[in-house]
Amino acid sequence: MPGLLGIEQLERSEIQAILDRTRHFQPIQNQSFRRLDVLRGRSVVNLFFEASTRTRTSFEIAAKRLGADTVSISASASSVSKGESLVDTLNTLAAMRPDAIVMRHAASGAPHFLARHLPTPIINAGDGTHEHPTQALLDARTILDRRGTLENLHVAIIGDIAHSRVARSNIYLLSRYGAQTVLCGPPALLPRELAKIAPGVRLTHDMRDAIKNADVIMMLRVQLERMHEPAIPASEYFRFYGLRPEHVELAHRDVIVMHPGPINRGREISSEVADSQKSVILNQVENGVAVRMAVLERILAPAAENN
């Protein structure tokens, strides 16, 4: 794999290989501090142009557990704030010859742009409102752990779909497995064209309709920082699109509730649901490290996968 820019371009076999390999890294997490050395002597640069705690930390831990050296740079601390262009920043970093660059950026397509100009493999850790591929992979791993299969699931994705890179990556991934995905949110955050980006996608503005018989409920964070206009009065959001226990009862009895975090209790999800047995929010975080280990290994040391 030359890098990981998004799920959209990935074959199902590639996705499956990463998910299978992730299992191999899950037990290690339970034996704390155990390090592997498949990436010994390799360096991974985490370049975060946008604030992030969990994704950055997760990538950092994943790289370290594989024995790689990591450097994390956040935009506010770098020369970006001194007016250096993205190309120059990346050229500078590339000249230091890292083996991979993990990158988060507020502009959709920023990693694709750089991948065209740099030889270094780039792993997209979230680009604007486009894709967040490792999030979709860890979500898929979490679903597999709890439901045993990804085939033909009913999945409800609820919230600000328009601005969600998590939603896009999940839609692409789930559609590869024949999922029926229902997207639900207020009209301004749910462009009609979403129904056409992958097979098996349906839209609704009614949360009960979305959740009925769902195997998986994915809640999205309300992204105030990406909203350029009030899409819905803040006072109405929770009333119409906040997940509460009475909604969960409409779903399949083994439903799982997911959220990419950070959660806003009382805005898009009630505390009762977030802390319930149905919630797998912390499992997602845990799987984040394992999935990122699998991705890093696949890109930097593909031969190691056979061990």
197 binds other proteins (CB under 8 A): yes
Q: Which is nearer to other proteins, 168 or 247 (CB)?
A: 168
**Least distance (Å) between residue 168 CB and other proteins:** 6
- CA-nearest of 194, 212, 211 to 203 is 194
**Least distance (Å) between residue 131 CB and other proteins:** 7
- CA-nearest of 171, 241, 167 to 201 is 171
228 binds other proteins (CB under 8 A): yes
Phi, psi at residue 123, to the nearest 5°?
-110, 120
109 binds other proteins (CB under 8 A): yes
C-beta of residue 194 within 8 angstroms of C-beta of residue 161: yes
- Residues contacting 23, CB < 8 A, separation 6+: 141, 290
191 binds other proteins (CB under 8 A): yes
Which residues inside 83-102 make contact with other proteins, applying CB under 8 A? 85-87
80 binds other proteins (CB under 8 A): no
Among 165, 176, 278, 292, binds other proteins (CB under 8 A): 165
Q: Is 204 helix (H, G, I), strand (E, B) or coil?
A: strand
Among 129, 175, 180, 181, binds other proteins (CB under 8 A): 129
Binding site residues, other proteins, CB under 8 A: 8, 85-87, 105, 107-110, 112-113, 117, 127-131, 162, 165, 168, 191, 193-194, 196-197, 228
